[in-house]
Amino acid sequence: MRSIEEDVLKVLITKEEIDERCAELAEQLHRDYQDENPIFLCILKGAMPFMAKMLDHLKFKMQIECIRVKSYDGMNSTGSVKIDDFNFDLIKDRHVILVEDIIDTGLTMKKTSDLFKEKGVKSLEILALLNKPVLNKVPLNPKYIGFEIPNEFVIGFGLDYDEQYRNLPYVGVLKPEVVKH
Ligand code: 5GP
């Protein structure tokens, strides 16, 4: 049986490193939100495994909601975001934490967080597994970041290349011959 792991050039962040870092982030979130019953807003589909891993470690009262925000087409940022129908009454006067897989230019998170702020959240912070600081274009100040990574296109642990590789248990880089040019 051929495994998708054969398409991986290198592993950037292991499963164990992700688990360890999620435990640390959960401690930080516990200190900040233990009495606030916050809403974790999981951005589908990329942040699903990260959210699930965080749930292993989050022990305080909290809620989860999901939204779909689309910003990428293949390997290129389109520069625009699309948010599917969401009942904004759910987040009115609530502490909201946007859960994202990766921040690249920061445009997706900026547009999404601005939108939720307009809809009357009590507070809003960003929790992202990965950040590519060299590419950050917009002022964002995400409060909770798992790992800062260099400017490479990564896949795995929720991150896709044309909808594939989300099921890799680690974050890695694809072999060049796998990527369509
Ligand atoms: P931004 O708006 O910050 O430029 O892009 C954020 C979105 O682009 C992420 O939610 C993710 O879907 C996608 N993205 C950015 N960099 C990468 C990457 O290295 N790999 C994958 N698979 N998606 C990425």
* pLDDT tens column, 136-169: 778 888 999 999 999 999 999 999 999 999 999 9
- DSSP code for 155: E
Q: What is the pLDDT of residue 1?
A: 87
User: Could you tell me which residues are beta bridge partners of residue 39?
Assistant: 63, 96
The interaxial angle of helices 15-33 and 48-57, nearest 10 deg, is: 60
CA proximity to 129, closest of 4, 5, 25, 34: 25
**CA pair distance 169, 90, nearest whole angstrom:** 32
102 CA → ligand 1 middle, Å? 6
Residue with the nearest Cα to atom 5 of ligand 1? Answer: 104
**Ligand 1 closest atom vs CA 102:** 9
Distance, CA of 45 to CA of 33 (rounded, Å): 25
pLDDT of the residue at 56: 97
Cα 146 to averaged position of ligand 1 atoms, centre (Å): 15
Determine the pLDDT at residue 138: 85
Q: How far away, in angstroms, is 119 Cα from ligand 1 center?
A: 25
Instruction: Please give all residues whose beta carbon lies within 6 A of any atom in ligand 1, as ranges.
Output: 46, 71-72, 77, 100-108, 153-155, 159-161
Task: Let me know: does 121 contact 96? Beta carbons within 8 Å.
Answer: yes
- State residue 107's pLDDT score: 85
Annotation says 104 is catalytic: yes
Q: Where are the domains of the chain?
A: 16-149
Tokens 């989050």 belong to residue:
58
Architecture of domain 16-149: 3-Layer(aba) Sandwich (3.40)
pLDDT of 111: 85
6 vs 95: CA distance, rounded Å: 42
- Cα(159)–Cα(146) distance, rounded to whole angstroms? 14
What is this structure's pTM? 0.93
Per-residue model confidence (pLDDT) at position 20? 98
User: What is the pLDDT, as a whole number, of residue 154?
Assistant: 98
Looking at the DSSP assignment, which residues form a beta bridge with residue 64? 40
Show the tokens assigned to 14.
């292991």
Instruction: Report residues of the chain scoring pLDDT below 50.
Output: 74
